[in-house]
Structure 1
């Protein structure tokens, strides 16, 4: 067993917080979660609301997910609920389904190996499987943070605390249970989880919990890219994107999660790219708060824009033609990022379109203007262009033109564009000589196909 540190309790010591000393009320708990709790209790099993729901209710939050911990095995839970399905290999769980709501039911797990093969740890400490069942005391010690190891009991409406989590919640402190380095090696994604929860809850990461993160950050490379994609969505699409990003920077996780963007931001001396990125994340938080949709495509277009800009400049400095450099930069950044985060094509392709549409906002020819307005990615690309004003005012005229173009009737816009083209053909300002049109020389067929 891990060595105990003063800030990371490993032994369980029960403290019961009675109903008159906490703020958790059944009125704020999902009726379906209560239904699961009562049925388990009525059939002789111990059952408790556990984890984030208890934590959030204690600080006046409104949890969306309600998890249950019990001494019933997954198979016993399934036998009680016809609407139950068993999932998971690494952690076997029961999901009780009520329409769109899922109540996750986990059996108390032990923090030991009983020789059954249901607890499997990689040589480096990575926990591959954890399905050895135990007591509620063992389950509490096995959980990640003390704030997540609180149990609400429906029989007397008390909160059960085995590892000092109640006090940490009151003090808004995020503290790992056990030796922090060992716990991060068990599951490196816990480092991201620490940053995300601190950002979401406004908690401080306790010093001994934060200390190992920078030198263990590289362990994130061992996590499945698909899992890191899901963690990114939680980090940046839950309404606390800006604080999550700052936390990743502060604890040395950004260079591992978004390596090329981190390098580009470090090289951008003016700080313009960082200003744009942070403003974009603030906008994302505002949309989430207003219950407006946020596309992962736009999010990753923002997060990887510094990397794209840096790659684009490098290619152009090598003499690559602008349009080709844009396509190659978009592909290069996407492929490199996929080594860390499994960004699905349904998001990566629109992300690239947002980037590749940016130069087209400088065009004013009638046909091209209407073609761009009709593009399915126009609105996202325009919003991205407007966001770029935070980094540079050079796009102000383009933003103003396209904002106006969206509001005008088609006939009016067409007439305006025709008039502008006529003035250009006539020599621009009054008194100027008309410009001679130069015929473009046709390239040989072979050159056109390259």
Structure 2
């Protein structure tokens, strides 16, 4: 049986016990969430070195780091270094989005590098195999090519796969009738739209959805229903194409869960701040509480080089409103393949967003680290402050390089005029 089927029959699997322990909750609570479809366990049966990751309602907000080569940069070594850096920085999951070089080898190497949850977009592989290996255009992919790509990733142990099943001919027509500034910015979505137009056919992952479910079932991987019509700019957010796709994903969620397959939903995208909460609530309603995995949202379009910040702002609002899984955005989004340092900055930004949201959600223990920081700051205990910092090395480096005069124990901002020292003197006087 799958994890969903076991949970619905009242059985607590070993994976559920492990994931519950990591969440500091009772296994029975997690089982109930999985049974209801409001949480999932990401762990492919083939991913023998992977630890199970629980994502969903009432759980700590999880974070993902995207990795992967491009046709302009095919270095396996660089991607493995990024994987190590992302893991060390505290990412919960890695997505391999490679589209250049020996893709199979890269994916296998990333899976072997850490015990983190692994995601992928199999359609990228199918497209690359068509173009590079078979020498034919993407639009000449066959249905068998597409499903072979899915099979390959599942067999390699990928824990969750993004599939753009809601990109249909009807949804495309709605987009065309309304109009968009950026049309389709999802790479997988654009491949699918191009394929449908050229072949005058329906999206195979939608038309043959039952076949997809049967393919996933033996691996017990999670279907991450992708948002092919996610808005690529503020002007396109919450339009008919985006909402129509979400309606379809809600229907596909029920079909998958009826077949014993776990599902999460992917979401926007670029979106004005005042639309984010409504989008989260709409997704939760239409998809019956299935976990929501969001990219950003990016709350402005004009900050290339700083999109880890625009993403963290939107991600905090989204997660506080109920999003369960945040995909990082690096400073190099829209500009280049991220460097190792970009990956580190992106993970830190998204972890800050997730943590800030968990405090709002009331996740048990979320605020404890903040309270500890307050105590250490009051005491001017710098080692203590580093120990509870989200990025201890950076905090220590910045203080050390400031040339602080340690005789007063404060920092170079206030020195001997430090407010903590003033208040400490007041407390000592009161004690006397």
What TM-score results when the alignment is normalised by the length of structure 2? 0.34
Larger Rg: 1
Which structure carries more relative contact order (alpha carbon 8 Å, separation 6+)? 2
What TM-score results when the alignment is normalised by the length of structure 1? 0.33
